Structure 1
Amino acid sequence: MSGFGEGVARAIFRRFDADGDGAWSLGEANAYARRLGRPAFANEQAYLDLVGRLAAAADARGRLTEAGLVGFYDRAVGLARDAALVGVGCADDHFTASGSVAGELDARAARGLEALLRRRRSLDRGLKAAAWLPRFCTDLFADFEVARLSDFW
């Protein structure tokens, strides 16, 4: 396996090691399996049995470790497909997204819009609600950030 492939396998492991303890719990292994479109393990013993059959590196409790997943992908094919399914090893790993929305409303303009909406009963209720909001808010602000660009979509 190339150095890049090993890095991708390690990134896959870390993406699903939610608690950061260095070994996949049953829940973490099931999250990985579901992301790949595979069935989840029925119970912890089924998961531990598979780790044992694969002769993969495991922790003292028999759970798959990062070295075990790297070793598995070193012996098996499918790293590129699995990496694509979980979004690892692509440009998405290197970009984050953040944005802000801020606004300030002129009270006179808002009252004029509100009067227009009252006269036009046929206008959408959403527009009426949007015109009503400035009565209580003079400033609007929203801020967000995502770890990977694909999380933004």
Structure 2
Amino acid sequence: GSLSFAQALTSQRYSLEETLAIVMDTGFAEPDVREDDIPYMCSPASRHGRLENVITIVADKTRSEPQPARHRALPDWLISGTQPVPLLPAFELQTMTTRIYAFIMGMIDGRRSIRDMAKLLADQRLMSRDEAEPAVRNFLIRMHEDSQRPPGL
């Protein structure tokens, strides 16, 4: 795959030279490298064709190297399920947001308007009157848009 776009972090988008150095540092002999330009999406019916530069690397494993440390994509408290869940700042914010959304959803009864719901939010001191109406409207817009999507999308 592409060395340029395979990684989200720019610092991990390695050049050909960096890639070859990594190959040799991980127990492989100096690789044979071949670069070719090949047609991509070239069709007489389309103007979207182009030439792609493709690099082929072939190397023999000549020595063993220690395994790299295990990547920890998820914290231990999520994996084991036995440690306390930390109250992270993002969780605190999400908790408050979820409570407000649940409150808004609980007010949907077929009788209340957006303005009525916003007034109740402000009366409960969950947000200011200036913030409440746009917040309710935006949330209901998202809910309405989600309800219009086909299942599974």
Instruction: Answer yes or no: same fold by TM over 0.5.
Output: no
What's the TM-score once normalised by structure 2's chain length?
A: 0.32
Structure of higher CA gyration radius: 2
What's the TM-score once normalised by structure 1's chain length?
A: 0.32
